[in-house]
Chain A
Amino acid sequence: MISCKKAAELTCQSLDRRLSLGERFKLRTHLLMCKACNAFRKQSIELDRLLNKRFHSRVSDEEFQRAVEHLPGDSCNRIKQRLREVVEQ
């Protein structure tokens, strides 16, 4: 029987690589009996999913989306100005 420490390690690694058959078996067996590690697994997967959703799909918050849609005009001009300065040098 693997410890919670090992189970947590395998849980995290399962998000980064394919576990071996033996590792999967050990993890599954532990998860069957350990509520804490089950919670850890659920929350870790959820965290990954949320971050993925947040950074790789359209932002659902309309207000935020409107705010991030365009580079503000004044900084647009400031950046252009700066680039021209550098070009002229």
Chain B
Amino acid sequence: MHLTWRLTSCRQIGALLVNFVRSRIFAFCTCSVHGVPMASSAKRESSHRQVSIDPAEWVDRHGDVLYRYAIVRVRKQEIAEDLVQETLLAALKSQDKFEGQSAEQVWLIGILRHKILDYLRSRSRGVDGRTEAGSTDWLADFFDDRGNWRKPPDPTAVNPDSLVEREEFWDVFDHCLEGLPPRAREAFTRRVIEQEDTKSISEALSVTANNLWVILFRARTQMRSCLMLKWFGEQGGTPRNEAGHRDTSDRRPS
């Protein structure tokens, strides 16, 4: 119960942060689209010039923070470096949209976040079905016609806690994440890693809340199964097991 509460409050804080960044970005966008009154525009310009100076200084001031943010998510040095560079270049191009008053770093991390999501999306090996948003075809890989597990999760599987400290785990994790269809991958990354709230994810992916739950259900089921298979070598799903399974032999009283 306590853990659940803590998880929820973590999510809420995460969601608040994400919303804050979004509202900043949204504010910049609306400014550039609708324009602002001349006077305030000029004022903004002048105050802005005092804040943004040599962009190379950004590298000294924010380079480490951005790099750290990127590398724990993409975990490859060259890619993290590239993403930092891309972020700063993008920031440079849109710096007139940045108000000096708001935290520069928050703004840059917001840009970096999008770059990371783009990168993760582009690496996806999976294919979105034609009707992917609400598609339930994939369910047939995990459940039979009667809704029983084809490969029941193994209750005796090792607790992964001690194993995640090992770097190899994260290679397997990457491999599994890349196996998800792009949309499931993005939803999973935003939800589970970034702790974004489901409302803003469904808006970003332009799907309904229900569709998002289906997408996340798929992502979670597939990720669990892939990790268990690749890392823990979970067995199960031999033809005999499956046959036995249809007789609901999985529903043993505990």
Chain A residues proximal to chain B, CB less than 8 Å: 3-6, 8-9, 12-13, 15-17, 32-40, 42-44, 46-52, 54-56, 59-61, 64, 67-72, 75-76, 78-80, 82-84, 86-87
Cα–Cα, bound, A56→B55 (Å): 28
Shortest distance between the CB of A48 and any CB in chain B (Å): 6
| Chain B residues in 8 Å Cβ range of A43 | 153, 157, 160, 224, 228
**Is B200 close to A, CB under 8 A?**
no
Instruction: Say whether, besides A40-B224, A50-B164, A51-B192, A6 and B81 are in contact (CB < 8 Å).
Output: no
Shortest distance between the CB of A62 and any CB in chain B (Å): 10
Interchain CB contact under 8 A, A71 and B161: no
Q: Whose C-beta in chain B lies nearest to the C-beta of A70?
A: B64
Q: Chain A interface mostly helix, strand, loop or mixed? A: helix
Instruction: Say whether, besides A35-B155, A43-B157, A55-B73, A71 and B81 are in contact (CB < 8 Å).
Output: yes
**Is B110 close to A, CB under 8 A?**
no
9 nearest interchain CB pairs? A3-B147, A36-B152, A5-B147, A71-B67, A39-B153, A39-B155, A80-B56, A71-B63, A5-B143
Chain B residues proximal to chain A, CB less than 8 Å: 3, 7, 10, 14, 55-56, 58-60, 63-64, 66-68, 71-73, 77, 81, 84-85, 88-89, 92-93, 139, 142-143, 146-149, 152-155, 157, 159-161, 164-165, 167, 191-195, 198, 209, 212-213, 216-217, 220-221, 223-224, 227-228, 250-254
| Chain B residues in 8 Å Cβ range of A35 | 152, 155, 250, 252, 254
Shortest distance between the CB of A52 and any CB in chain B (Å): 7
Cα–Cα, bound, A37→B77 (Å): 39
- Given A3-B148, A56-B10, 19 further pairs, Cβ under 8 A: A4-B148, A9-B217, A16-B198, A33-B253, A34-B251, A35-B252, A36-B149, A43-B160, A43-B224, A44-B220, A50-B161, A51-B193, A52-B10, A54-B164, A55-B193, A55-B194, A76-B60, A84-B55, A84-B56
A47 partner, pick from B72, B93, B155, B220, beta carbons under 8 A:
B220
Q: In this complex, which of B55, B59, B68, B160 has the most chain A Cβ atoms within 10 angstroms of its Cβ?
A: B59
